Structure 1
């Protein structure tokens, strides 16, 4: 099992949870986006080979999600400036990779319009989701077919769109008011295990109804993933450089979103950081950039 791919999967899982971060853009950042799209599309032809490639990434992502629902969200709330400076560094570190992609074809005047479109699209979608409280839980347990239908749609909508580089699955869940529902269900997994170990079957039954919300969500996610992965595979095969012109705009929007959501609200009233805070921000920014440059290595499958 590839330890590097396990770590990369972990980072993608973290990005899936943090509002405003994009799991797909982090897949691009760590050099896994194109191999993942290829593996999904070629799964039926060579399932064993693709499973060997996908398993460590999937395990890492699951650990990252479980870790993020508690620890990373706590760190982001307790130490927002250094945490988001590191996230910002991760995003900015992808620019050399994108530059190599866009230079593969001759420049045409309308390519920057794709960059502007990607930039405007991500900022616009983020604004759609900005009014939804992260703690809001619309469905607390799987009890009716309507609940299942809503979670099926939530999985298909958020995960399918999330495959497009830069679009945050968390923001998409906020748009349809299901962010709190999904991550409450993920968090209930730990509660379920704890109650089972203690022999508290009544409490475990309640936790199980909450965790069960993830079943229709994952079915919708799987269907959406396959459909959008086919589209992205076609675009990357025939219009790779143009796609990355759009990703360049997405990266710019992501950087602004991270600064506005994670750093600006915590700046002093003067709007300026003192020297120690500025030094810490700069250090975490550089560490994030270096981490991306280290992880930006092609992954074979």
Structure 2
């Protein structure tokens, strides 16, 4: 899931479906509620003050939220993101046009894989499709300039990306590309890892702290996203499933503009060679998603 979530256009939710853990993942995430948090805090207070049976209550809370599963899954996701994101950051630095071409293929194939979830047979669904497409298309290439690189932007990017990553077919990294934050956040994560390794060989603690700030802010946004927006998205899928999926599929289609704009900014203008390279790598990316979709037996979020 971490590898998929690090790559725009490939969904960690699809990997969860493929491995048979999607229902368990959603149940675990949505089981974390304010009431459960209060129980956990009360149990911790009991453990610290040695009043009541705090240990037993804490164990009960951890079982209720399937904590062992979430910790193991989270560790795997974090490990993969740390490695894959670094590789992609290097790719963006050394071969940006080819990398964005690869992203384009991934995103386009994801839209095709989700076509069965797209419905425009009612006025509401038509409106959802138009809104999803316009939001993504208009934001592509302009969101970065509009949002900037502030801590608030980083926090909001974490909210959106982590909320999206649990949905089959929708990639959190795709949302970062759409918001113009993918290159910045992958660079920030790589800088943090470099600072940590440098510290192990006598580096500066201050450098680690400085590099950790955007990563921590992004992660805080991700936690808030999981506890709030993810619940809202699941509720929308439960009550307005067709309209919600139609909006999301249209969003993916509109987001196809983002890697094209990013690649164009790197080339300074499309040449025959640049177009050929972009398209060739896009085909490879699309083939990877189609193979994954075939292995997963198709995307279904009923």
Label 1:183 to 1:116 Cα distance change in 2 as closer, same or farther (>3 A).
Answer: same
Counterpart of 1:10 in structure 2 is 3
Residue 185 of structure 2 corresponds to residue 193 of structure 1: no
Residue 134 of structure 2 corresponds to residue 120 of structure 1: yes
The offset of 1:41, in angstroms, is 0.8
Counterpart of 1:71 in structure 2 is 87
In 2: Cα distance, 1:273 partner to 1:212 partner? 38
Label 1:243 to 1:81 Cα distance change in 2 as closer, same or farther (>3 A).
Answer: same
Structure 2 SS opposite 1:199: coil
Structure 1 SS opposite 2:240: helix
Name the larger-Rg structure. 2
**Contact 1:102/1:245 (<8 A) preserved:** yes
Per-residue Cα deviation, 1:170-197 (whole angstroms, up to 9, x for no partner) = 65475xxx974x5555334333333333
The offset of 1:226, in angstroms, is 0.8
In 2: Cα distance, 1:298 partner to 1:59 partner? 25
1:40-189 to structure 2, matched below 5 A, reads 40-43=29-32, 47-48=62-63, 50-55=66-71, 57-95=73-111, 97-102=113-118, 107-131=121-145, 151=151, 153-154=152-153, 156-162=155-161, 163-164=163-164, 168-169=175-176, 172=179, 174=181, 180=184, 185-189=188-192
**Contact 1:26/1:91 (<8 A) preserved:** no
The offset of 1:63, in angstroms, is 3.0
In 2: Cα distance, 1:108 partner to 1:179 partner? 38
In 2: Cα distance, 1:72 partner to 1:253 partner? 23
Residue 39 of structure 2 corresponds to residue 26 of structure 1: no
Label 1:258 to 1:54 Cα distance change in 2 as closer, same or farther (>3 A).
Answer: farther
Structure 1 SS opposite 2:114: helix
Counterpart of 1:221 in structure 2 is 222
The offset of 1:294, in angstroms, is 3.0
Counting matched residue pairs gives 261
In 1: Cα distance, 2:192 partner to 2:104 partner? 30
The offset of 1:217, in angstroms, is 4.4
1:198-209 to structure 2, matched below 5 A, reads 198-200=201-203, 203-209=204-210
Counterpart of 1:269 in structure 2 is 271
Q: Which runs of 5+ in 2 are unaligned?
A: 37-60, 165-169
Label 1:156 to 1:113 Cα distance change in 2 as closer, same or farther (>3 A).
Answer: same
| Greater shift in the superposed pair: 25-34 or 239-248 | 25-34
In 1: Cα distance, 2:279 partner to 2:107 partner? 19
TM-score norm. by structure 2 comes to: 0.66
**Contact 1:31/1:297 (<8 A) preserved:** no
Label 1:234 to 1:11 Cα distance change in 2 as closer, same or farther (>3 A).
Answer: same
In 2: Cα distance, 1:281 partner to 1:102 partner? 23
**Contact 1:31/1:296 (<8 A) preserved:** no
The offset of 1:212, in angstroms, is 4.6
Label 1:168 to 1:68 Cα distance change in 2 as closer, same or farther (>3 A).
Answer: same
Counterpart of 1:142 in structure 2 is none
Structure 2 SS opposite 1:131: helix
TM-score norm. by structure 1 comes to: 0.66
Label 1:173 to 1:51 Cα distance change in 2 as closer, same or farther (>3 A).
Answer: farther
In 2: Cα distance, 1:53 partner to 1:155 partner? 28
**Contact 1:156/1:223 (<8 A) preserved:** no
In 1: Cα distance, 2:97 partner to 2:62 partner? 43
